[in-house]
Amino acid sequence: MITNVVLIMKKYKISLVLNCFLCSAVILIYCSCSKKNYTQQGIYQFKSEVVIPDYSNLDYWAAHPWKKDLSDSVPADLQVGYRPDSLADVFFIHPTTLTDYNDIRWNAAINDEAINSKTDYSTILYQASVFNEKCRVFAPRYRQAHIRCFFQTSPDTDTAFEIAYTDVKAAFEFYLKNYNNNRPIIIASHSQGTKHAGRLLKEFFENKALQKQLVCAYIIGLPVPDDYFSSLKACSDSLTTGCFVSWRTYRKDSEAPQFIADEKFKAVVINPLTWTNETSLVSASLNKGGVLKNFNHVVPKVVSAQIHNNILWSSKPNVPGKIFYTQKNFHIGDINLFYINIRENAEARIKAFLKNQL
């Protein structure tokens, strides 16, 4: 799935590096690392004498139901009537937050305080929290590959990705053995997380007994070729279960980067406003709300959406000053531009899954 995309990105060495994996950054309208008014995260100064993470220790989880963390945060606009439940589990694989090109490491250290804090106050807060109303949220810390690995070809990059996946796999195996107890599972991911999620789904779900426990896979931010899986299908509507959804977001009517134009495969693109692959423009009126810079405020009707070739087009976010917003790549908002739609869809699919089990 992601291998071909990585090679294409390396070939062109495009400026996507500044936009594509920065769900963790404080830029423009999408994200804020303010530590006010959210669930507070714990201490980051845990010590790891061994390089390999120990997932029996909660410090090695960015989100875990046995501790209070940023995935437990609920926007203030949603707190009235909020009734959390634990009908299913979500295993969330976060995107790249090791993005400093002055950092010469190929992989993040598992106990790096700055990286862990950056991860939690960005992707865990703004992305993993979308699932917290009806799911227990599990999000492992892992020795993520540096962002340069998506733009270079060398044995070092292959090793870096393999190290990262080894941790994700170990965390998932620990989760299965110690926490799952045959509960329904959602796999969710973004960017580098989706690279690892694809492997995880093939290794543990596809044509395996565990596929019967899969509610849905929300594998977002990197393309999934339509022939990547053999038996795991793209979701056909908002209530199908045992399937996956995927999309990459760009501004409507903008030219896709050259590496996308050169893709030799058809990517699965599902519109999160309709949960189908229909290509007609879907009005922003169907966007239940996004969570942008101010985590506590839900912005209704924030963008429209339309499938265009291998990407999802969206309008400029409906916020003050949008006329000055010139960014074409909306990758950083792949999830939080559609925050409420994803939140409600996860609940609907879980209920459909449980109903089908009766």
Q: What is the pLDDT of residues 323-342, one digit of tens each?
A: 767 788 999 999 999 999 99
Spacing of C-alpha 222 from chain mean position: 10
Q: Across residues 211-227, what is the average pLDDT?
A: 97
The pLDDT assigned to 126 comes to 97
pLDDT at 45 over 70: no
The pLDDT assigned to 256 comes to 72
Question: What does each C-alpha distance from 71 to 39, 63, 84, 203, 338 come to in angstroms?
Answer: 8, 6, 12, 26, 17
Kindly report the CA angle at 250 between 139 and 256, in degrees rounded to 5? 120
Quick one: what percent of the chain has pLDDT higher than 90?
75
Question: What does each C-alpha distance from 77 to 16, 120, 189, 290 come to in angstroms?
Answer: 33, 21, 25, 11
The pLDDT assigned to 260 comes to 86
pLDDT confidence band for 318 (50 / 70 / 90): confident
What residues does 313 pair with on adjacent strands?
A: 250, 306
3 state SS of 220: strand
Phi, psi of 313 (to 5 degrees): -85, 140
Contact 31, 252 (CB under 8 A): no
Q: Across residues 47-76, what is the average pLDDT?
A: 90
pLDDT confidence band for 29 (50 / 70 / 90): very low
The pLDDT assigned to 23 comes to 38
Report the 10 Å Cβ neighbour count for 7: 12
Of 190, 26, 46, 196, which Cα lies nearest the Cα of 122? 26
pLDDT in tens, 234-258: 999 999 999 999 999 999 987 777 8
pLDDT confidence band for 12 (50 / 70 / 90): very low
Number of domains in the chain: 1
The answer for 28, left when phi > 0, alpha when psi is -120 to 50, beta otherwise, is left
Mean pLDDT is lowest, of 15-24, 59-68, 280-289, 297-306, for: 15-24
Contact 190, 124 (CB under 8 A): no
pLDDT at 141 over 60: yes
pLDDT at 1 over 70: no
The HSE-up count of residue 150 (CA atoms within 13 Å, CB side) is: 26
The pLDDT assigned to 17 comes to 33
pLDDT in tens, 269-314: 999 999 999 999 999 999 999 999 899 999 999 999 999 999 999 9
Torsion angle in degrees (nearest 10) through CA of 30, 123, 269, 148: 100
Tokens of 173: 């195996």
Report the 10 Å Cβ neighbour count for 273: 22
pLDDT confidence band for 50 (50 / 70 / 90): low
**β-strand pairing of 243-245 with 298-299:** unpaired
pLDDT confidence band for 38 (50 / 70 / 90): low
The pLDDT assigned to 18 comes to 32
Of 203, 87, 191, 178, which Cα lies nearest the Cα of 146? 191
pLDDT at 261 over 60: yes
* Structural domain boundaries, residue 270: 2-357
Contact 224, 235 (CB under 8 A): no
Q: Across all residues in the chain, what is the average pLDDT?
A: 88
DSSP secondary-structure letter at 11?
H
Contact 110, 53 (CB under 8 A): yes
pLDDT at 185 over 90: yes
